[in-house]
């Protein structure tokens, strides 16, 4: 059974000795998909899971399954959980300690949609860090109600949407919990959504100053952690990457030739034309004016070569 086109979970899973007992049941909501699984696992069975979208899992049986979870690293401390939140791009390992049947509710979120839901409930949550609950009867009760509605819809999406809101409130307000390492702590790198958020911030503010602190806030990290993870991900410090991005944008605008250099400098975040010229020459080995002329000559040579080839074809 397939998911509808608007949002599709993109889980990658490698499992062993796990067998589904019932057909998958699912319902779609705005920026989310909720599905119910019934599974039998053999001792030693389990899997490795990773997804580019955050998700919540609630085990619906009276007791947590005899399964140990490790978040972020296969060497992480093993945890038995009744429910958990797993951030985008954070790997998870699971291993059955004994044979068991288990039923679980999985809720997959589009990252921006989850942020909107949390903001509407005034919940401040670190979405880069996993959250695991050993036991929570309220979450299990909410999960069972949601699973029943998914399997046999009675009230359209309104009831399920309300239950989803209640699950978020209970999960992120509940305690005690175990928190694991975030992806950048586990791998030393940024998650794709964090890199996308930083790039979006820069591209939307190309004409204005953007500090490393601004980029760290967009990635939901401290400034020191962000600088470390960014360098591991990109291979250079954030400020150098930002300067290169501004220069590439300036070069694109200069190549198009429609704007004076002073305007290009203003639109790409440089103090003035001379500031742009100095940085441009250091990066490209020539001034913007010389570079524009060189681009024009290359274009003329390309056109001449194309014309010559055309004459040879028809001669």
Supply the CATH number for residue 20's domain. Answer: 2.60.120.10
Number of domains in the chain: 2
Residue 131 backbone dihedrals phi, psi, to 5 degrees: -140, 120
Of the residues 148, 182, 216, which one is the last residue of a structural domain? 182
The domain that contains 244 carries what CATH number?
1.10.10.60
Q: In this structure, are 24 and 151 located in the same domain?
A: yes
Q: In this structure, are 155 and 198 located in the same domain?
A: no
pTM score: 0.63
Listing DSSP states for 242-269 in one string gives HHHHHHHHHHHHHHHT-S-HHHHHHHTT
Please tell me the chain's helix, strand, coil percentages from 3-state DSSP, rounded to the nearest 5.
Answer: 45, 20, 30
pLDDT in tens, 112-170: 999 999 988 888 888 888 998 888 899 999 999 999 999 999 877 889 999 999 999 99
Q: In this structure, are 89 and 174 located in the same domain?
A: yes
pLDDT level of residue 58 (50, 70, 90 thresholds): very high
Of the residues 160, 182, 204, which one is the last residue of a structural domain? 182
Segment holding 304, helix H or strand E: helix 288-314
Whether 314 has a pLDDT exceeding 50, the answer reads no
pLDDT level of residue 313 (50, 70, 90 thresholds): very low
Of the residues 182, 214, 231, which one is the last residue of a structural domain? 182
Residue 312 within a domain:
no
Residue 206 backbone dihedrals phi, psi, to 5 degrees: -60, -30
pLDDT level of residue 85 (50, 70, 90 thresholds): very high
Owning domain of residue 231: 184-299
pLDDT in tens, 222-238: 788 788 889 888 999 99
- Tell me what pLDDT residue 256 has: 83
Residue 147 within a domain:
yes
Contact predicate 34/146, CB 8 Å: yes
Contact predicate 179/130, CB 8 Å: yes
């Amino acid at each position: 059974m397939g998911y509808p086109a608007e949002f599709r979970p993109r889980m990658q899973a490698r499992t062993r000795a796990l067998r589904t007992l019932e057909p998958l049941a699912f319902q779609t909501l705005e920026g989310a998909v909720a599905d119910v699984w019934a599974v039998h696992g053999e001792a030693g069975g389990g899997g490795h899971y990773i997804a580019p979208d955050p998700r919540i899992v609630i085990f619906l049986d009276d007791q947590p399954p005899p399964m140990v979870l490790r978040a972020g690293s296969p060497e992480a401390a093993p945890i038995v959980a009744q429910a958990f939140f797993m951030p985008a791009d954070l790997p998870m390992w699971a291993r059955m300690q004994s044979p068991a049947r288990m039923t679980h509710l999985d809720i997959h979120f589009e990252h921006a949609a989850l942020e909107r839901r949390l903001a509407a409930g005034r919940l401040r949550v670190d979405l880069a860090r996993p959250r695991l609950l050993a036991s929570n009867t309220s979450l299990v009760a909410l999960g069972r109600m949601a699973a029943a509605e998914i399997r046999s819809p009675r009230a359209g999406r309104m009831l399920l949407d309300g239950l989803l809101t209640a699950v978020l409130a209970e999960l992120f307000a509940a305690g005690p919990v175990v928190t694991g390492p975030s992806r950048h702590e586990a791998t030393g790198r940024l998650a794709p959504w964090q890199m996308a958020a930083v790039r979006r911030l820069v591209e939307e503010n190309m004409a204005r100053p953007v500090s490393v602190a601004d980029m760290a806030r967009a990635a939901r990290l401290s400034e020191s952690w962000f600088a470390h993870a960014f360098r591991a991900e990109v291979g250079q410090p954030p400020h150098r990457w930002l300067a290169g991005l501004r220069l590439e944008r300036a070069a694109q605008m200069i190549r198009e030739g429609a704007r004076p250099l002073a305007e290009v400098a203003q639109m790409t975040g440089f103090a003035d034309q001379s500031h742009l010229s100095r940085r441009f020459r250091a990066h490209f080995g020539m001034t913007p004016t010389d570079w524009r002329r060189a681009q024009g000559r290359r274009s003329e040579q390309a056109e001449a070569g194309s014309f010559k080839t055309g004459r040879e074809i028809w001669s």
